[in-house]
Homo-oligomer: A and B are copies of this chain.
């Protein structure tokens, strides 16, 4: 339960404020992923300098290492990693499916083996909520089943229904505190009636916010946007809406235009480590020969540490030499770009100039 306020609207796009225990989050918001207690390559000082307002932690990774006991001894994830702003944790459901070894899904939950050392674990809605409580997450996600894509209607329906039963159990296990919240996750793959049933049933259970899950799994942007379009009709206006695991800059713009408030994605940080930079002028593949002698920054209009201090030529050199600093500088840049983009989108909503076909150029003009 937390305070949520829609400050401005422009078409279906919203600029909101979410008041959490560890700080205020202005939306639309992009949450950098700090998988296992670290946004890869960055100090907290650097994460703060990107203007990130909230980061995401992965329950699956954190339960394996450092483990819930240790986490609790340290006083939760905020203290463990010394991060003072809000944290959202996913429930572990997605990683159990994508990372873990042998797993078995029953009505009760999922038994799986750690991808690190094969140790057997069990996650149930109750356990996931309990671990997220120990982590101290400002925002907790229900434990759901994340089916693969593509999937038949029949399987998608069965999975969505199981997730609904788990959503109820997640809610029952959740300890309500002011400044903290529990999000339901709409499932149903790309099937309109399943998404409708899921969205409506979750609202009967009542959550502090609603996420759209099961997208950005290979369905493509068109299918994703279509699914958002028919799903969001069934989501309440007075709660934050979170599109999980998305996405590229234009995915964010188009999803905000449809009424999404929150995003997380490993993309900007992961591709940064591989040499792909997002800029106001499009993508730059740093390793391309054309940048070897470039004395330009990654993005002339960017004020991040990398752009203010270093050239494309130097950063390419760091990549060629496999220097750690390459990953750090690139991650600083990409995450700063994402925050700048979200901030530009928010301003555009407030100024009533935002629309679903707006370009990055127009946003930064």
Contacts and interface: CB of A to CB of B under 8 A. Distances in A.
Interface of A: 36-38, 40-45, 61, 65-66, 70, 73-74, 80-82, 292-293, 295, 305, 309-311, 313-314, 317-318, 320-321, 323-325, 327-329
A43 B326 CA distance: 10
Contacts of A74: 293, 295, 311, 313-314
Contacts of A36: 317, 321, 323
Contact of A318 (B38, B45, B327): B38
B310 A82 contact: yes
A314 B65 CA distance: 11
B313 A43 contact: no
A44 B309 contact: yes
Given A66-B313, A80-B314, A82-B309, A323 B38 contact: yes
Contacts of A81: 314
A325 B38 contact: yes
B43 A325 contact: yes
Nearest to A273: B324
Given A305-B43, A314-B74, A65 B321 contact: yes
Contact of A37 (B293, B314, B329): B314
Contacts of A313: 66, 70, 74, 80
Given A74-B295, A293-B73, A328-B328, A320 B65 contact: yes
